[in-house]
């Protein structure tokens, strides 16, 4: 028994046991941090947007807290182990600080990505499933992290955007969407008759149960948007549920065309004329090119 105690009392063995104890304590505390951060996450109790946003916010914040606490934990464990084996931790701490400063300067874009991503989630600018416009990219958010945003655009391509590069975001999925429908009419038509036909088509769309759920306001006739010798353009406004403005506009145009055909109202047959080229030749000037 005395030889057994003498073996463990040897400096090398006791140091090794101390290091193992530090490692075990660090792993145990790291596991405890994981459990505690998971308790902070509140799973969405429903498919409502508010519940899903709250879940994503708490999950992201919990991940940030876990990462920061884990880094601090392992730094403390490493410095404690160095002191036990006889290495002065002060130079290592200074070196670590200098390396951290150097990495901070070298990874400014990465730090900017994480900071911007943190505020995107915290301020609820957009979440997974929203349709957004970021710069020239418009599409559905497929993935969101503190470092990047992944958007599936209209071509079906996955576009990865670093959060630090995002300056402005247009969220097309919040509250309601809006679109305008312009109808070009022949200028010699009776305006009252055309307006009545447009109102009939709009009323029919509002009364359709299969489309009323997609409507928030309208369709309403705003009036004559432009007027010249070639056409009178009447503009209609409609507000819809988020991201449904295009399909509602298509259905409204279809019903307008059907109503015009029913009442025998022709639409304008305006042709757009463009000067294709400029030449000093009198023959070419006398034969302008037109395109429709």
Q: Return the pLDDT at 289.
A: 43
Name the token pair of 136: 């020239």
Closest of 278, 258, 280, 279 to residue 267, by C-alpha: 258
- Whether residue 114 is contained in a domain is answered as no
- Whether residue 223 is contained in a domain is answered as yes
Say which range, 9-13, 71-75, 127-131, 215-219, has the weakest mean pLDDT. Answer: 9-13
Q: Are residues 11 and 87 in the same domain?
A: yes
For residues 251 and 220, give the distance between their C-alpha atoms in angstroms, rounded to a whole number: 15
Alpha helix segments (H runs only) across 107-229: 108-122, 191-207, 209-212
Which position has the higher pLDDT, 69 or 100?
69
Q: What is the arithmetic mean of pLDDT over 138-149?
A: 87
- Whether residue 277 is contained in a domain is answered as no
- Whether residue 283 is contained in a domain is answered as no
For residues 36 and 225, give the distance between their C-alpha atoms in angstroms, rounded to a whole number: 60
Q: Are residues 35 and 61 in the same domain?
A: yes
Q: Are 234 and 224 in contact (CB under 8 A)?
A: yes
Q: Are residues 185 and 167 in the same domain?
A: no
> In CATH, what number is assigned to the domain containing residue 221?
3.30.70.100
**Domain span at 130:** 126-171
> In CATH, what number is assigned to the domain containing residue 157?
2.30.30.60
Q: Return the pLDDT at 152.
A: 92
Strands of 31-188, DSSP E: 131-134, 137-144, 148-153, 158-162, 169-171, 177-185
pTM for the complete prediction? 0.55
Question: Based on the structure, what is the number of domains in the chain?
Answer: 3
Q: What is the arithmetic mean of pLDDT over 80-98?
A: 69
- Whether residue 121 is contained in a domain is answered as no
DSSP designation for 187: T
Residues 6+ apart with CB under 8 A from 225: 182, 233, 234, 235
- In this predicted model, what pLDDT tens digit does every residue of 173-227 receive, in sequence order? 888 888 899 888 887 777 888 888 899 999 889 888 888 888 888 798 988 888 8
Q: Are residues 10 and 100 in the same domain?
A: yes
Q: Return the pLDDT at 88.
A: 66
Q: Are residues 158 and 136 in the same domain?
A: yes
Q: Are residues 65 and 20 in the same domain?
A: yes
pLDDT-derived band of residue 150, with 50, 70 and 90 as boundaries? very high
- Whether residue 282 is contained in a domain is answered as no
């Amino acid at each position: 028994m005395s030889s057994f105690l003498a073996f463990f009392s040897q400096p090398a063995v006791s140091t090794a046991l101390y290091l193992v104890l530090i490692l075990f304590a660090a792993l145990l505390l790291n596991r405890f941090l994981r459990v505690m951060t998971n308790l902070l996450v509140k799973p969405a109790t429903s498919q409502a947007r508010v519940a899903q946003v709250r879940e994503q916010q708490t999950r992201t914040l919990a991940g940030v807290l876990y990462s920061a606490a884990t880094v601090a934990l392992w730094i403390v464990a490493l410095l404690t182990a160095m002191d036990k084996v006889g290495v002065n931790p002060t130079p290592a701490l200074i070196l670590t600080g200098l390396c951290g400063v150097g990495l901070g300067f070298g990874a400014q874009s990465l730090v900017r990505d994480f900071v911007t991503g943190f505020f995107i989630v915290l301020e609820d600018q957009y979440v997974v499933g929203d349709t957004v416009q970021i710069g020239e990219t418009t599409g559905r958010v497929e993935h969101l992290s503190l470092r990047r945003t992944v958007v599936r655009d209209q071509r079906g391509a996955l576009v990865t955007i670093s959060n630090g590069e995002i300056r402005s975001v247009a969220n097309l999925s919040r509250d309601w969407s809006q679109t305008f429908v312009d109808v070009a009419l022949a200028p010699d038509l009776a305006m009252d008759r055309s307006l009545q036909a447009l109102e009939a088509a709009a009323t029919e769309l509002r009364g359709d149960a299969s489309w009323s759920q997609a409507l928030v306001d309208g369709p309403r006739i705003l009036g004559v948007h432009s007027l010249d010798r070639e056409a009178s353009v009447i503009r209609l406004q409609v507000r819809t549920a988020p991201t449904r403005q295009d399909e509602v506009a298509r259905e409204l145009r279809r019903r307008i065309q059907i109503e015009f055909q029913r009442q025998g109202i022709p639409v304008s047959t305006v042709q757009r004329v463009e000067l294709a080229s400029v030449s000093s030749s009198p023959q070419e000037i006398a034969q302008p090119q037109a395109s429709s």
